[in-house]
Amino acid sequence: MIGALQDKIEAHFSGHETFPLRQMWLKKAVDKADTEGRLLKEVFSDERAIADFGVGRNMVSSIKHWALACDVLAEDDSRRHFNLTHVGAEIFRTGGLDPYSESPVSAWYAHWCLAGRGTRSTTWYWLFNVFSSQAFSREDALPTLTAFAMSLTAGKKLSSATLGRDLDTCLRGYAPRSTTASVEESAESMLAELGLLQEERKGIFTFRRGPKSTLPDALFAWALLDYWMRNRRAESSLTFETAAYAQGSPGRVFKLDEESVAERLFALADLTNGRLRWSDTSGLRQVHRSDFDPELLMTQLLRDSYA
């Protein structure tokens, strides 16, 4: 399984400057784009950046990192500037679906980018897809993260301090420690509201698996289609087990139980006008897809998620 992952996931364990993603940071990045959706790289590095963003220099770097990791910004082929992505504009631009990150759907979207895609967030992907313990401490998790990281870098040793900081940043993003975190940090953590991870007692974290009341069926369908197009584009059907348990699947990334996954799969035909449909024939449980433009359907599902 790890061999397959090596083809899809790059080892990326820094860039956030140890600041978890905060509520308004994606919006701050989007607001710097011009009318054509472009941002010069200097926006994040010149002398005016601190005043423009209203945060310290390290936080400016962190905002850039999270905007890229959440697919709100993308680097231009010329490498001279960043472009606002279609989804970034759709959600966070003034007049967009959720310009001020007031809806939990935006947090679910960010979580999917970090833990479902893992483009610049290897630890997030690992924690929700590869790591198997239900309850754990940082000390339990770090050795297995180190082994996973080495598998992605052909055995090249990574700094344990770097991996430790990345893991700490990941855990604090979902479960801020009220005893040590500032009131501002606890209140502004974008992913904490999802309730996916909690610090049950000091230093012991547990996943909260089961139904997710703030996750719309339409965003589940959007994520399923995103997984399908990224990992199994050539296949016209997915099994229930794939949707529920495969690494990078919505069932796994959103920590849903079997019943919750099944209920959401049953709703696919109505949500997508039959483009995605569930079948259970002779004990073979599958989702089928017809011939359609996946990008158009994903755009519609994203909009429906905020309806």
Based on its alpha-carbon atoms, the radius of gyration of the chain, rounded to whole angstroms, reads 19
CA distances from 253 to 82, 144, 246 (A): 28, 18, 9
- Do 193 and 107 touch, CB atoms closer than 8 A? yes
pLDDT of 16 strictly over 90: yes
Going edge to edge, which strands form the sheet with 237-239?
A: 237-239, 284-289, 276-281
Rounded to the nearest 10°, the torsion over CA 245, 210, 166, 149 is: -20
Residue 106, pLDDT score: 98
- Comparison of pLDDT for 105 and 178, the residue scoring more: 105
- Do 110 and 191 touch, CB atoms closer than 8 A? yes
pLDDT of 92 strictly over 90: yes
Joined together, the tokens standing for residue 131 give 């790591």
- CA 86 to chain CA centroid, nearest Å: 16
- The angle subtended at Cα 31 by Cα 182 and Cα 52, nearest 5°, is 65
Average pLDDT, the chain: 92
Residue 197, pLDDT score: 97
Spatial neighbors of 170 by CB under 8 A, at least 6 apart, are 20, 121, 123, 124, 127
Rounded-to-integer distance, Cα 200 and Cα 171, Å: 13
pLDDT of 138 strictly over 70: yes
Residue 169, pLDDT score: 97
Residue 112, pLDDT score: 98
SS3 207: strand
Per-position DSSP letters for 127-144, written without gaps between them: IIII---SEEEHHHHHHH
State the DSSP H helix or E strand holding residue 38, giving kind and residue range, or none if neither.
Answer: strand 38-40
Residue 164, pLDDT score: 97
Strand-pair partners of 137? 204
Q: How confident is the model at residue 154 (pLDDT cuts 50, 70, 90)?
A: confident
Strand-pair partners of 119? none
Joined together, the tokens standing for residue 102 give 């007031």
pLDDT of 120 strictly over 70: yes
Spatial neighbors of 307 by CB under 8 A, at least 6 apart, are 218
Mean pLDDT calculated for residue range 243-247: 97
Residue 170, pLDDT score: 98
State the DSSP H helix or E strand holding residue 237, giving kind and residue range, or none if neither.
Answer: strand 237-239
Q: How confident is the model at residue 90 (pLDDT cuts 50, 70, 90)?
A: very high
pLDDT of 3 strictly over 50: no
Mean pLDDT calculated for residue range 129-149: 96
pLDDT in tens, 168-209: 999 999 999 765 555 555 558 999 999 999 999 999 999 999
Q: Which residue has the tokens 């990334």?
A: 253
Q: Which residue has the tokens 């909690």?
A: 198
